[in-house]
Amino acid sequence: MSRILVTGGAGFLGRHLCRLIHARGDEPVSLDLRAQEDAPWYSVIGSVIDPKSWETVGRVDGVIHTAALTDLWQKKPSAYDQINRGGAEMAALFAKEQGARLVLVSSYTVLMGRGIRGEQVIDGVSLPPPLDLIGPYPKSKRAAEQGVLSAHSETVIVRPTALIGPGDHRLTPPMRMTRDIAAGSLPGVMRGRINLVDVEDVAAATLAALVAGDAGASYLLSGHDYQLKDYADLVASLAHIDPPGLEVPPVVAQLAAQAETFTARFTGQRPQAVPSGVTLASLPVRFDARAAREVLGFEARPTEESVGRALEFLRQEGLLEG
């Protein structure tokens, strides 16, 4: 039996990883700021940037680092570097000391730069220059990748796109948007794109990377490409409501996001949209997870199935009426 540490084990992806590890007969260990009182595995309550938390974990055979600030807006942008880069580097040092392989869960946003012109297929082979990255979140994730690869040679990186599916108790941005569409509270969407992938498919591929991934390699875990309007129509259809009627041009969405973000500096309340998110959604890109399919056996189920399961979860948790 292998003992595998999952940082962020109480989060959206982390919970699914812990369940999958447990179901396969291995022992998951969760390191998170939140407890998992109902979980049949060891849970360490602590921070990935606190050395004492790592000391509490004990011996492990593998490390999967999911813990990160994932929202595109933070009141203190410096927190991205502190948590995302700093936490990842501590995970790498811990894994190296243990003689364990590390899988770093990064983000597809590190593959997208301001220099993209015209339709492009992103497969994870090439990276934009660091200065072209869009916002502090992807910059911190790129720095995390560079830090762990320098610190520990037995590292594999996975880069999922927007996660959807059951189990998101805190509502990450893609699931929050899905909930708002299904609730009929979103009057419109911007003219842009999104790639969605089921959280359980990402969990399976991430665990596969721990064993089958090539050291030093990175794998894009993308699902299905959608125009935001088409995705909104799909969610509305499955929720049996009318879809949002407005499709907002990116320039208008950008102005609104800038205004909301400016106001958020004073209110501390999360804006509905942020400038970097609008820019990312407006890029003319499609995604291809060929390498993950070939090496990790990754398969992305139909988005309709993922959305259906997500809506069922939201209703069961009282996060969506009807």
What per-residue confidence (pLDDT) applies to 129? 92
In a domain, 45, yes or no: yes
Per the structure, the complete domain to which residue 229 belongs is given by 3-316
In a domain, 230, yes or no: yes
In a domain, 147, yes or no: yes
In a domain, 321, yes or no: no
pTM above 0.85, yes or no: yes
- The mean-pLDDT minimum among 18-22, 112-116, 202-206, 235-239 falls in 112-116
In a domain, 256, yes or no: yes
The percent of residues in the chain predicted with pLDDT above 70, rounded, is 100
Is residue 213's pLDDT more than 80? Answer: yes
Q: For helices 173-183 and 303-316, give the axis angle rounded to 10 degrees.
A: 80
Bridging pattern class, strands 188-190 and 155-160: unpaired
In a domain, 322, yes or no: no
145's CB contacts (< 8 A; 6+ apart) are: 88, 104, 106, 110, 157, 218
Q: What is the pLDDT of residues 267-321, one digit of tens each?
A: 888 888 899 999 999 999 999 999 999 999 999 999 999 999 999 999 999 999 8
Please give the mean pLDDT across all residues of the chain: 95
In a domain, 159, yes or no: yes
Contact 2, 27 (CB under 8 A): yes
Q: What is the pLDDT of residues 135-176, one digit of tens each?
A: 999 999 999 999 999 999 999 999 999 999 999 999 999 999
Q: What is the pLDDT of residues 79-116, one digit of tens each?
A: 999 999 999 999 999 999 999 999 999 999 999 999 88
CATH number of residue 131's parent domain: 3.40.50.720
Is residue 235's pLDDT more than 90? Answer: yes
In a domain, 192, yes or no: yes
Total tally of structural domains belonging to the chain: 1
Helix (H) or strand (E) holding 8: none
